[in-house]
Amino acid sequence: MRILKLTEDTKKNLLENLLQRSPNSYKQYEEQVNEIIEQVRQNGDQGLFTYTEQFDGAKVTQETVKVTREEIEEGYRLTDPALIDVMKKSLENIKAYHEKQKQYSWFDSRPDGVMLGQKVTALARVGVYVPGGKAAYPSSVLMNVLPAKVAGVERIVMTTPCGKDGKVNPATLAAADLAGVDEIYKAGGAQAVAALAFGTESIPKVDKIVGPGNIYVALAKKAVFGHVSIDSIAGPSEILVLADEKANPRYAAADLLSQAEHDELASAILITDSEKLAEQVSLEVERFTAELSRKEIIEKSLENYGYILVAKDMEEAVETANEIASEHLEILTERPFETMMKIRNAGAIFLGEYASEPLGDYFAGPNHVLPTNGTAKFFSPLSVDDFIKKSSIISYSREALEPIYQDIVQFAASEQLTAHANSIKVRFEEK
């Protein structure tokens, strides 16, 4: 990995380089995505099935688009029983963590007849997009579905691409059933997002779409936002490791590579105040990469978006980490909790040398759907909050309104909204 001294120019160039990975930088695909969405919106199943055959090579019909109970049972049989057991353990951890995020309706009343409150309601229908193709991500199924279940969503609809044989990855089906998905459909890409956003003869329209996907899925979610809600426009994965001279270089190197193997656009950055550690980590990265199965992807990722930055001190290192606002932030310092208190921007924070990033991806419980491309400055991880909405409650008695009604009339009149004023005034007309 390249080792650079951290300067203002280094920081500026790095931030500009990372932003190139944003889905907003791929406008050349928007026209094609918009065409797909419009065709599915206008032609429903016909458009969906045409694109499924074109892009996935699968001939799907109204009779076969929905995954059957028999197919789910087959998924269980074809999935390693040991993996099923692990998914069940992971599921319990994820569920327990998200249970603590639940919000409840509340009401506050006063003796004069005023009652104010907030009504919390779960979304009625949510669509979960799960990537398919060569890789399967049952962990993503659990992370997207379980917060919705905890929130109380009535109907969870999942779409995922099938193979040319019309079959869905068995582990994906098993994870979906364990998590409590209500319906699963064989559809992927922008066409699946369009089907969820507008509905077809086979796939119901939902209120919100969540889940990761390729650039076509990301741009499709962006395009349908407003017709439905979405979780976020996810970019490529990223990790930032903050480490001092006490850090174990093998741990730091292994953790950087855990994200670099995702994608050629993935970002892996180490910031340290120790030149010695920087050299050691770079050497360990070379050793690990030579023996890892996704060597070519890792090498490309590190070539494009891999950095080791040497800061003058940990204060400068922390300041830079806050500016990058990484999706995953590992703190490998002598006092990780003390360092963590200075962090403002990060999707998920991993403290200490035994809390490596894959722990969060698969098992600990906090959600692994996280803000990317610097959006951790204003976005949060996927949570139960993403699957509820809130309504304000207002109730006043005549006795409570009478002392203040003229204030409201004056406020409305100042904005020249006489009908607003009259709506209050009419209640106190002399009879």
Active site residue 98: no
DSSP state of 130: -
Q: Which residue type is seen at 429?
A: E
Q: Could you give the C-alpha distances from 423 to 195, 234, 405, 411, 417, in angstroms and in order?
A: 43, 46, 10, 13, 10
DSSP state of 283: H
* Selected catalytic residue, list 98, 262, 284, 328: 328
Region label for 287, one of left (φ > 0), alpha (ψ between -120 and 50) or beta (otherwise): alpha
Handedness of CA 107, 108, 109, 115 (dihedral sign): negative
Residues with Cβ within 8 Å of 272's Cβ and at least 6 positions away in sequence, in order, are: 242, 243, 244, 245, 247, 278, 281, 308, 309, 310, 311, 317
DSSP state of 101: T
Which residue, among 118, 129, 126, 128, has the nearest Cα to 154 in the 3D structure?
126
- Rg of the chain over all Cα atoms, to the nearest angstrom: 26
Structural element, H or E, at residue 332: strand 328-332
Greatest alpha-carbon pair distance for the chain in Å reads 90
DSSP 1-30: --EEE--HHHHHHHHHHHHTTSGGG-GGGH
Q: Report the distance separating Cα 322 and Cα 324, nearest Å.
A: 6
Q: Could you give the C-alpha distances from 369 to 177, 225, 360, in angstroms and in order?
A: 20, 18, 10
Q: Report the distance separating Cα 313 and Cα 52, nearest Å.
A: 53
* Selected catalytic residue, list 327, 330, 353, 357: 327
Residues with Cβ within 8 Å of 172's Cβ and at least 6 positions away in sequence, in order, are: 75, 130, 132, 136, 137, 138, 141, 160
Q: Report the distance separating Cα 289 and Cα 301, nearest Å.
A: 11
Backbone φ, ψ for residue 29 (5° rounding)? -95, -10
Structural element, H or E, at residue 388: strand 388-395
| E-strand stretches of 52-114 | 106-109
The catalytic residue positions are 327-328
